[in-house]
A and B are shown apart, each in its own frame.
Chain A
């Protein structure tokens, strides 16, 4: 007979549990430009991480780098960086890199 799929949600209605997972959108695919951090210029002040609206700057202990799964390319980090260490580069420049994330 028919094999029924297991339900993917434990809730009876459309609840969103912030402790587990609200809604994971692939917002990284919305990006048309990505921030590129010049590690030499970066002084690890953390302002980019503070200003980033979806909070997706990753702390690399010596510099910051964007989480490309969620970065939408808004450019606020580049605008706020006091050292001008961040440049917004068109996604097309990375087209031949394959599906690297």
Chain B
């Protein structure tokens, strides 16, 4: 079983990102359970989403304390003291950031995929909603899911022009993510 923890802010699509990723895993025949936890339901307030995936049904309905992977949607959250808490050894980070992460932010972090998803989203979608771009980066960095599974899942959430734009944003995230290893 793999445990993924998303960190974002209200309004950035963190919850939707977790769900779209869940779709992608289900397309590939995996079992998934994903849910968010937030305090105040308002723009800007921190949001966490927990996604579990496995080859057999996921039964536990608790928060994730030892993630295998962190997906961080807001660049400023990298400074959050609790961000890396519980990260498993050989942990992976997918980060939306305009600049590369130079030093290893946590000793359990072995692999990071960094992409300027905000800029790509603004260019492709016209708005700062970096979630789909980060899903592409996730697929490329972890290899846990195929890009085409991620793209096929998008059709449940978008249609028409918005779908095309989000597909482009996802593809760019996949191809333009910079992968760093420690």
Contact = CB atoms under 8 A, between A and B. Distances in A.
B80 to A, nearest CB: 6
A94 B78 CA distance: 10
Interface residues of B, number: 18
Nearest to A93: B98
A90 B130 CA distance: 15
A91 B99 contact: no
Nearest to B74: A32
A101 to B, nearest CB: 9
Contact of B79 (A32, A90, A95): A95
A97 to B, nearest CB: 7
Nearest to B46: A29
Nearest to B96: A92
B105 to A, nearest CB: 9
B79 A92 contact: no
A31 B44 contact: yes
Contacts of A92: 74-76, 97-99, 118
Interface of B: 9, 44-46, 74-81, 97-99, 101-102, 118
Interface of A: 29-32, 72-73, 90-100
25 contacts: A29-B46, A30-B9, A31-B44, A32-B9, A32-B44, A32-B74, A91-B74, A92-B74, A92-B75, A92-B76, A92-B97, A92-B98, A92-B99, A93-B98, A94-B76, A94-B79, A95-B75, A95-B76, A95-B78, A95-B79, A95-B97, A95-B99, A96-B99, A96-B101, A99-B79
